[in-house]
Amino acid sequence: MNEITIRRPDDWHLHFRDDAMMRAVVPYTARQFARAIVMPNLTPPVTTAAMAAAYRERILAAVPEGIDFTPLMTCYLTDNTDADDLARGFADGVFTAAKLYPAGATTNSDSGVTDVAKIMGVLERMAEAGMPLCVHGEVTSADIDVFDREAVFIDRVLAPLVGRLPELKVIFEHITTAEAVQFVDGAGDNIGATITPQHLHINRNAILVGGIRPHAYCLPVAKRETHRLALRKAATSGSARYFLGTDSAPHTREAKENACGCAGIFNAPYAIESYVTVFDEEGALGHFEGFASENGPRFYGLPLNEGTVTLRKAPVAVPEAFDAAGASVVPFHAGETLGWSLV
């Protein structure tokens, strides 16, 4: 197959940032995707419906003329989230989901939740309302090795949570381990998972072999090869539990190439091309539309997009860097040639 036409896809996990960086990166996503679940980890975080509504307007103002793109907003949960504001925001269509960052897990997560028990009342309201919970699934205890943090999160937090609130819709985001695949496969239909392009393409050697490579570093960090293979199998399996979520997370080159480099991979410019390459390599192009365009909206209970996009087997060269906000941002696959192009 040299060409594939699919229903317009969506990105179910994305960081746009704010201000000049946001205005620079929104067009890359809008070129490919009809909708995106927008992460709320700004400074300060998006914790109220009013903040989310204002942020949504700023994003819409950055969408290029003539492109139809809808940002789907999320609420950053804290120990003090106001359940009434959250429920009202969801009922009014401002919020599509809420995001659980364990405090200290990643970029701008300091105000995150210190103990899920503290937000049980909020999560109960969400379960009643049918509001989905997006989860950054890593424990943060200093005694847990960074490569084990996702697997330990399943045992200590996620499995007990799902047991306690079996009807809550949970998206286990950017999964990176065979343990996560096993958990999702064995869970109920109300548990879904997103998978990023980088976790399908690279293992931890890409970060550490031949020198330290900060542009391959994100959180959860890429694991060993067995995990990457498990993720590729899950994504391309045809299971409706798995869907596209890039976790594109732009940081300036300076912030990445630093003595303490930020976590995050900017994959937005060629995300759909990156994913389709994996499905082609796995001989699973027939499952690509489900992963990219159907499983996500069905999980969220949202309509499928109208319209289509076509991808063609034709090389596309990924630039070494993009200009954004007066700075340089290095993309995923920088300097590589991908085998598929968006027509």
Within 8 A by CB and 6+ apart from 4, the residues are 276, 285, 288, 289, 310, 311
**Interface pick for ligand DOR out of 63, 103, 240, 263 (rule CB under 6 A):** 263
Name the minimum Å distance from CB 312 to Zn ion: 29
Q: Which residues are catalytic?
A: 247
Quote the CA–CA distance of 317 and 100 in Å, as a whole number: 36
Quote the CA–CA distance of 311 and 280 in Å, as a whole number: 11
Name the minimum Å distance from CB 181 to ligand DOR: 19
**Interface pick for ligand DOR out of 136, 215, 287, 333 (rule CB under 6 A):** 136
Task: State the distance between the two ends of the chain, measured CA to CA, in whole angstroms.
Answer: 15
Each residue 189-228 as x (binds ligand DOR by CB under 6 A) or -, in order, gives: -----------------------------xx---------
Name the minimum Å distance from CB 247 to Zn ion: 4
Containing 14, the helix (H) or strand (E) segment is: strand 11-14
47 binds, among ligand DOR, Zn ion, none (CB under 5 to 8 A by kind): none
Query: How many positions of this chain bind Zn ion (CB under 5 A)?
Result: 1
Quote the CA–CA distance of 51 and 36 in Å, as a whole number: 18
Q: Are 267 and 274 in contact (CB under 8 A)?
A: yes
**Interface pick for ligand DOR out of 106, 190, 246, 293 (rule CB under 6 A):** 106
CA distances from 49 to 74, 87, 92, 95, 179 (A): 9, 9, 9, 7, 35
For 63, other C-beta atoms within 10 Å of its C-beta total: 17
**Which of 340, 174, 195, 196 has the alpha carbon at shortest distance from 267?**
196
Name the minimum Å distance from CB 118 to ligand DOR: 21
Phi, psi at 265, each rounded to 5° = -120, 125
Question: Does 247 engage in binding with Zn ion (CB under 5 A)?
Answer: yes
211 burial level (CB within 10 Å; 0-12, 13-18, 19+) = exposed
Name the minimum Å distance from CB 4 to ligand DOR: 29
Question: Does 169 engage in binding with ligand DOR (CB under 6 A)?
Answer: no
Query: How many positions of this chain bind ligand DOR (CB under 6 A)?
Result: 10
Residue closer to ligand DOR, measured from CB, 161 or 222: 222
**Interface pick for ligand DOR out of 9, 10, 13, 15 (rule CB under 6 A):** 15
Residue closer to Zn ion, measured from CB, 107 or 190: 107
Residue closer to ligand DOR, measured from CB, 311 or 329: 329
Q: Where are the beta strands (DSSP E) in 221-321?
A: 242-244, 308-312, 316-317
Residue closer to ligand DOR, measured from CB, 334 or 342: 334
272 binds, among Zn ion, ligand DOR, none (CB under 5 to 8 A by kind): none
**Interface pick for ligand DOR out of 29, 47, 48, 107 (rule CB under 6 A):** 107
| Contacting positions for Zn ion (CB under 5 A) | 247
Interacting residue ranges for ligand DOR, rule: CB under 6 A: 15, 41, 106-107, 136, 218-219, 249, 263-264
